[in-house]
């Protein structure tokens, strides 16, 4: 046994343990105020975003080799350079415009994108970053100041969507998998239960509450079983109920342009496949992945895969046209990752070897190539997007 049950995870520092204890106290208070339990989405929201204490709100290094997990922009600058080609096409089509990046992590993607858009003579008027974490904002500013100092003046940080409307490109890389989800379980009595969170001893535990008829969850579950077949008793998974409001808010902001969403995920019937019986919930702590959200509270990332059929449906209902869906590998290939690799890497050098290795991580099926998908949405702009021209998986949605 370890301090975290049967999971063999490295212990946190005493400072981190203190922050986690305070966060747990607040979650207990929330549960007590609510009566007996809170939804898992509310628990996940507090664990990730509670001001000053949540995983994304407190100060620890999260992304990269010294953090808990690694994202595509951290793997290679070729990711941002490819994405810049897609953004350049969008801005070129519009004549001019802004870029709005959601959840910019360490700021590496923003720095790589800005440098490449500069090389392509296609800089946005403004590069807006909507970041909910004060700590990550500081890290992002530092990164851009270091890597693209001349371009820092174009960057503006926002803590909510812009008040006015914008034209341009909106980017969300590995953001949707950090949006709180509900967890659901089908009972042996064939009814669906919402897995809520209650206090138990010094920690937290699941408590199953029947999903009310006529609720958003009940409607979503009925749609899933209608499309993908009846699921067996004991089947557990996740559902996002926050997508439609998110896209409606985005549609109010984007007058014309495109949204690029890249994330871990798949189509509805792959997501809710009978064999995926324990869902997609995953926690990351110092490059170890496990499925227990009730340990290292506020110190570990909690994510769930993205149901891209639900995302596409919510985007469509919110006012967007769905113009492309493909794997990350095909998206990057269409945007010329192999040409960029050939230009950037001198064969036989250490740098050449590193870039080739990074390209493999981004594109191989067993790595990020097929588990990550790219979805393209447009609004007030009718054009195809180059990133989706190598292979279309739209029919899978």
Ligand X SMILES: C[S@@+](CC[C@H](N)C(=O)[O-])C[C@H]1O[C@@H](n2cnc3c(N)ncnc32)[C@H](O)[C@@H]1O
| Closest CB to ligand X among residues 123, 178 | 178
Q: To 10 degrees, the CA torsion angle through 282, 77, 363, 236?
A: 10
Q: Taking Cα atoms as reference points, which of 47, 59, 42 lies closest to residue 23? A: 47
CB of 117 to ligand X, least distance (A): 17
| Closest CB to ligand X among residues 89, 131 | 131
CB of 159 to ligand X, least distance (A): 9
Say which residue the tokens 């909507």 belong to.
Answer: 130
Cβ-closest residue to ligand X? 103
| Closest CB to ligand X among residues 131, 193 | 131
CB of 105 to ligand X, least distance (A): 3
| Closest CB to ligand X among residues 304, 341 | 304
CB of 74 to ligand X, least distance (A): 6
Q: Residue 129 has which token pair?
A: 């970053």
CB of 246 to ligand X, least distance (A): 7
Q: Ramachandran region of residue 52, left (φ > 0), alpha (ψ -120 to 50) or beta? A: left
| Closest CB to ligand X among residues 29, 66 | 66
Residue 231 contacts residue 269 (beta carbons within 8 Å): no
Residue 311 contacts residue 375 (beta carbons within 8 Å): yes
CB of 252 to ligand X, least distance (A): 15
| Closest CB to ligand X among residues 177, 185 | 177
Q: Cα separation of 376 and 367, whole Å?
A: 22
| Closest CB to ligand X among residues 221, 318 | 318
Residue 372 contacts residue 83 (beta carbons within 8 Å): no
> 109: part of which helix (H) or strand (E)?
helix 108-119
Helices 14-34, 40-49: inter-axial angle, 10-degree rounding = 150
Chain-centroid distance, C-alpha 276? 20
Chain-centroid distance, C-alpha 214? 29
CB of 148 to ligand X, least distance (A): 16
Residue 331 contacts residue 376 (beta carbons within 8 Å): no
| Closest CB to ligand X among residues 111, 199 | 111
SS3 191: coil
CB of 249 to ligand X, least distance (A): 10
> What is the rounded radius of gyration, in angstroms, for the C-alpha atoms of the chain?
21
CB of 311 to ligand X, least distance (A): 14
Question: What are the C-alpha distances in Å from 4 to residues 33, 47, 68, 194?
Answer: 27, 16, 16, 25
Cα–Cα–Cα angle for 193, 199, 202, rounded to 5 degrees: 140
| Closest CB to ligand X among residues 63, 211 | 63
Count other C-beta atoms under 10 Å from residue 266's C-beta.
Answer: 23
Residues near ligand X, by CB under 6 A: 56, 63, 71, 73-74, 102-105, 109, 130-133, 136, 173-175, 178-179
Using the 8-state DSSP alphabet, how is residue 367 labeled? I
């Amino acid at each position: 046994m370890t301090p975290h049950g049967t999971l063999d995870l490295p212990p946190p520092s005493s400072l981190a343990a203190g922050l986690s204890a305070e966060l747990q106290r607040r979650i207990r208070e929330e549960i007590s105020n609510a009566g007996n339990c809170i939804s898992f989405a509310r628990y996940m929201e507090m664990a990730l975003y509670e001001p000053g204490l949540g995983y994304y709100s407190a100060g620890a290094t999260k992304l990269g080799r010294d953090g808990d997990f690694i994202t595509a922009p951290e793997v290679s600058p070729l990711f941002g350079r490819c994405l810049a080609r897609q953004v350049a096409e969008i801005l070129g089509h519009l004549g001019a415009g802004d870029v709005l990046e959601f959840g910019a992590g360490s700021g590496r993607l923003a720095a790589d994108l800005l440098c490449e858009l500069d090389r392509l003579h296609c800089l946005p008027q403004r590069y807006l970053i909507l970041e909910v974490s004060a700590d990550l904002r500081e890290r992002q500013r530092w990164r851009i100041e270091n890597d693209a100092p001349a371009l820092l003046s174009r960057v503006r940080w926002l803590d909510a969507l812009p008040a006015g409307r914008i034209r341009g490109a909106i980017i969300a890389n590995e953001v949707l998998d950090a949006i709180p989800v509900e967890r659901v379980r089908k009972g042996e009595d064939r009814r669906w239960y919402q897995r809520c969170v209650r206090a138990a001893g010094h920690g937290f535990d699941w408590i199953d509450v029947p999903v009310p008829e006529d609720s958003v969850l009940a409607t979503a579950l009925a749609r899933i079983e209608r499309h993908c077949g009846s699921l067996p008793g004991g089947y557990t998974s996740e559902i996002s109920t926050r997508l439609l409001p998110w896209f409606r808010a985005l549609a109010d902001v984007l007058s014309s342009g495109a949204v690029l969403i890249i994330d871990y995920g798949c189509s509805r019937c792959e997501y809710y496949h009978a064999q995926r019986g324990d869902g997609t919930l995953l926690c990351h702590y110092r490059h170890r992945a496990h499925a227990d959200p009730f340990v290292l509270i506020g110190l570990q990332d909690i994510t769930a895969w993205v149901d891209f059929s639900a995302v596409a449906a919510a985007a469509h209902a919110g006012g967007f046209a769905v113009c492309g869906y493909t794997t990350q590998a095909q998206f990057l290939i269409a945007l010329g990752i192999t040409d960029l690799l050939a230009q950037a890497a001198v064969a036989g050098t250490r740098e050449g070897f590193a870039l080739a290795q990074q390209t493999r991580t981004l594109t191989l099926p067993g790595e990020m190539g097929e588990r990550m998908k790219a979805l393209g949405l447009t609004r007030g702009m009718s054009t195809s997007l180059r990133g989706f021209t190598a292979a279309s998986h739209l029919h899978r949605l």
